Amino acid sequence: MKEKLVKLVAPVLAENHTPNDKRVWEYHMGELVETKRVLEGNLYNMFTILIPLCDSDMKNHVESSTEYAEVEEDLDSLRLLTMIKKLVYT
């Protein structure tokens, strides 16, 4: 499975902008902030879905990992998936 990193690029407002350019920039910045909020929320939600889907052995292995406490505190679903992947394929 290939991981894809989503990079959000902030729009740039030129120094000699028109009022319309500024409104367009404000609109795109609002979209950027909303997209970032939604993506982060989806990652947090995915963490709470993944853990219950693990069988008891996998869950015990993951929870006994030294990095699990930090992963759980941050609700870092990508690191959780990496941990599960390591356990499954090694």
pLDDT score for 5: 65
Round the average pLDDT of the chain to a whole number and report it. 88
pLDDT score for 39: 86
Low-confidence ranges of the chain (pLDDT < 50): none
Number of domains the chain contains:
1
Full residue range of the structural domain in which residue 82 is found? 19-89
Q: Residue 1 falls within a domain, yes or no?
A: no
Q: Residue 61 falls within a domain, yes or no?
A: yes
* Cα 81–Cα 38–Cα 85 angle in degrees, nearest 5: 5
Q: Which amino acid is at 45?
A: N
Q: Residue 28 falls within a domain, yes or no?
A: yes
pLDDT score for 2: 60
Distance, in Å, from the CA atom of 70 to the CA atom of 51, rounded to the nearest integer, reads: 15
pLDDT score for 84: 92
Tokens standing for residue 73: 């505190």
Q: Residue 67 falls within a domain, yes or no?
A: yes
Nearest to 10 by CA among 30, 19, 41: 30
pTM for this entry: 0.61
- Alpha carbon dihedral 32, 33, 34, 35, in 10-degree steps, equals 50
Q: Residue 8 falls within a domain, yes or no?
A: no
Tokens standing for residue 40: 């982060």
